[in-house]
Structure 1
């Protein structure tokens, strides 16, 4: 399809679409893609607000509830490489539709789960649906929109990502408080049905490319990631013993073997390593890892703190980030359009600087008796920062992709992004539980000073036995008081236990967020290290190029786009 404003003969103008959409605008593909992507991103954060509720209602530990997120993120992350390749092989449309159906059905299963084990299993299956959909959203936008309008399209896509990840806690809080935790999953069913309608109606059939199925690569990536994440997630439960470190080391070795195998497979690899020869693509992957790590690393401990320490209801806790959610949705389209005019690195770097500074700000104001508005302000600024990140980062990652590797490149970028979430979920749970083991006894020693002398040491000894599951479930109210203790002293002990719990948990959350801030600084460094490549508004692939000519034609057209990037690569 050629626009009336086509460019000079022999070269498509900036408004030329990459494929024939039979008279429809490229924008017609966005409703299905954005609705599907909204559900995916929503479900990476919506569970966090329900953690205390799940601990109580499913009688689970905080580590087990952490696996509700990690199981989803793990299957999501390790399958993205193969699902990106499936999009190249069978086309983005059918793979996206299958993923949408799987995601919607498994959301129903999540809501029906009556035990923590069943919920974790259903979430793992839900991650498969998310993995099938995600690479197809970026791949289709890259292949359908011409370069002149791709940044604006990515801006809409980025707005969806930003709003969903911050809206998750707000919507989750409303649903948990009014209808029950099951509805944080049931909400996906009507959204999925509408997305399926638009997908069947509007998504085009795009050219496919024959590829060998890299079964060895799939196996190595799944095994390696599982061993690493299991070690990080379960380390505290096993006192960081030899077995845990062996699991992490074995996972690292398997992932090393995966990289070696991918190099040997060349362009038939699950993850073609030549994609990483482009400097900005490689650095975008590092930055994408940092973004998703930060989203997980902030919301998991922060939402528990709001409910446990400050005593907010799930809905009120979620509303702390509502202003940031709204501003993220406003800023993201603006940032997407801006990335059509200025180098994406500066937009991304601005976003990282804002969110890193905001997380440090939060560590300074998180206290047992903090005023809620002291937290609302930095969370609002955090939303502005995330609005600058998603779409410009995606534009930087996909600017050099050609027709044959669009799916693989999108899969690679989304894989590193989601690995950030997996590692973030595991690392934050591990660090939080580790810090609680230190901060609660320390706070108990301080709180014991207010008790009669004979009650102090038994109190400190008792508080040292409080574990993370009691913390997340608010277990201090049932702190055991020895028989025969006078009523007034018993009340003093319970009050001291509550004070120690709140102080210890606040300190642990503040210290845990410093890890998130450090990873965000890594993302900022990656953004600043990118090449400042100005957007190119020419060289789009002619309509039907992928179907009426050889792949080489598509590659030459894409190479025209990617030339400035290619010249600025590192070998």
Structure 2
């Protein structure tokens, strides 16, 4: 093996480790929430912020750290990201109060955002253009492996140990990966530092914009459209957005290079990525409620069923990455979005009287569609931007993904809860009775229909990217 061959796979292993740990951590935490709530003696409205604050932190900082990796180099961002992630994990495990745990999750989110922001850029920097699809496809498989392993590992840890250990397992792996980054991430093209200054004003405005957007969208069903908190955060988001656009246009070294908006193959894939994850998370958010209430499945059975989309993501992602190297992104991404739409359409006709097989093939379609889409889409984005802006592009893709997830969950929660409350004369899902099954299914169908509409829009946006020039 040549030194260059060994180097690129060493970098791949480091990136895969960071991606696996960040996705594993998020899926493990979801499993442990009931145990945290009981142990810390708090309520569901408080404990949900353990998940929400992590998402807010990661989404708000991805572009900032993507840009920082272009300026300071990928190596210091990667190594520092894993270091902060390890420290945050330690404090999460040590938490004795809900507030301490939430603050520790902010620290963990800062580290995770650094890792996520520079990881795709590191892959594109290390691999030649003809191998990028395959490499990013394998990264898609790593994401799926982390999401799939999380519930299983979390269940074992919670059965034999206690919830702090879901955070403690990050520490030894993180230390080894950070040390590995110090020695491996040298002499990688695009990973070296530049002398450009950081756009601190743009970074602050972006953090305010994305944080306020996520907060008002996730709390929309709780606050209501005409509430003062909703109007405050919506206005804050709009003002920060305007300020960010003005600042970026004037800055000599912007956080987000507005010139990238002139690249069709950047703009449309980023937009469609957000739409895809919004449609996907309509399914991911709603299915556990369907399996728990009308179907009456146990938590363990529900967890095993929900692994299915991620299993297909695990096996199909490398294939779609390799197909990109031959076919390009548009055909694969349109196909992937269409398969996701078929999954949502089929779920509209699901009924609790049907067997498990009827559930499995429907949600399997969602995993297949997502797998066909993600790797080619990411490769197209990362391959069309200049070398010095790959960190920005990497952060933009990850930010779009996270915002899409939030939008999907927020819209699904809003449509389902408002429909169910109206049909049951004000009852909530917490007071579910068997007699409410018809009302649940009507609300579920309406929510899936919203997902279908999202995916149809996504097909149009995906097709609008046009054909790419293969290098």
TM-score, normalising length: structure 2: 0.89
Equivalent residue, structure 2, for 1:527: 462
Residues 46 and 168, structure 1, Cα contact 8 Å, conserved in 2: yes
1:237 aligned counterpart, secondary structure? helix
Equivalent residue, structure 2, for 1:200: 182
Residues 274 and 404, structure 2, Cα contact 8 Å, conserved in 1: yes
Equivalent residue, structure 2, for 1:331: 316
Residues 1:258 and 2:244 aligned together: yes
1:212 & 1:391 partners in 2: Cα distance?
32
Matches within 5 A, 1:253-402: 253-266=239-252, 268-367=253-352, 369-402=353-386
1:172 & 1:498 partners in 2: Cα distance?
30
1:232 & 1:517 partners in 2: Cα distance?
20
Go from structure 1 to structure 2 and tell me whether the alpha carbon gap of 1:342 and 1:214 turns closer, same or farther (over 3 Å shift).
same
Residues 235 and 241, structure 1, Cα contact 8 Å, conserved in 2: no
1:389 aligned counterpart, secondary structure? helix
Go from structure 1 to structure 2 and tell me whether the alpha carbon gap of 1:196 and 1:207 turns closer, same or farther (over 3 Å shift).
closer
Return the offset for 1:365: 1.0
Matches within 5 A, 1:491-530: 498-500=433-435, 504-530=439-465
Equivalent residue, structure 2, for 1:148: 130
2:239 aligned counterpart, secondary structure? helix
Return the offset for 1:116: 4.0
2:332 & 2:75 partners in 1: Cα distance?
31
2:222 aligned counterpart, secondary structure? coil
Residues 1:79 and 2:65 aligned together: no
Equivalent residue, structure 2, for 1:410: 394
2:404 & 2:296 partners in 1: Cα distance?
30
**Unpaired stretches in structure 1, ≥5 consecutive residues:** 4-20, 443-463, 477-496, 537-571
**Unpaired stretches in structure 2, ≥5 consecutive residues:** none
Residues 70 and 422, structure 1, Cα contact 8 Å, conserved in 2: no
Equivalent residue, structure 2, for 1:36: 18
Equivalent residue, structure 1, for 2:223: 238
Equivalent residue, structure 2, for 1:249: 235
Residues 1:102 and 2:88 aligned together: no
Return the offset for 1:291: 3.1
Return the offset for 1:227: 2.2
1:506 & 1:177 partners in 2: Cα distance?
34
Residues 81 and 408, structure 1, Cα contact 8 Å, conserved in 2: yes
Go from structure 1 to structure 2 and tell me whether the alpha carbon gap of 1:155 and 1:228 turns closer, same or farther (over 3 Å shift).
closer
1:269 aligned counterpart, secondary structure? coil
2:34 & 2:286 partners in 1: Cα distance?
11
> 1:422 pairs with 403, 406, 410, which one?
406
Q: How many residues get paired? A: 467
2:198 aligned counterpart, secondary structure? coil
1:531 aligned counterpart, secondary structure? coil
Q: Greater helix share, 1 or 2? A: 2
> 1:164 pairs with 122, 146, 154, which one?
146
Return the offset for 1:418: 2.0
1:365 aligned counterpart, secondary structure? coil
Post-superposition CA distance 1:183-218 (Å, at most 9, x none): 544443344345335433433343221222211111
2:98 & 2:248 partners in 1: Cα distance?
37
1:134 & 1:142 partners in 2: Cα distance?
14
Return the offset for 1:378: 1.4
1:241 & 1:302 partners in 2: Cα distance?
29
2:295 aligned counterpart, secondary structure? coil
2:326 aligned counterpart, secondary structure? coil
Equivalent residue, structure 1, for 2:170: 188
Residues 416 and 444, structure 2, Cα contact 8 Å, conserved in 1: yes
TM-score, normalising length: structure 1: 0.74
Return the offset for 1:504: 4.5
Go from structure 1 to structure 2 and tell me whether the alpha carbon gap of 1:375 and 1:401 turns closer, same or farther (over 3 Å shift).
same
Post-superposition CA distance 1:233-285 (Å, at most 9, x none): 2233334334113421331232122122212225x110001112110110111
Return the offset for 1:151: 1.5
2:349 & 2:107 partners in 1: Cα distance?
39
Residues 43 and 168, structure 1, Cα contact 8 Å, conserved in 2: yes
1:502 & 1:52 partners in 2: Cα distance?
25
1:240 aligned counterpart, secondary structure? coil
2:166 & 2:325 partners in 1: Cα distance?
36
Matches within 5 A, 1:475-494: 476=431
> What is the CA RMSD across the aligned residues, in angstroms?
2.9
Residues 1:223 and 2:208 aligned together: yes
> 2:75 pairs with 85, 93, 99, which one?
93
Residues 7 and 184, structure 2, Cα contact 8 Å, conserved in 1: no
1:378 & 1:182 partners in 2: Cα distance?
35
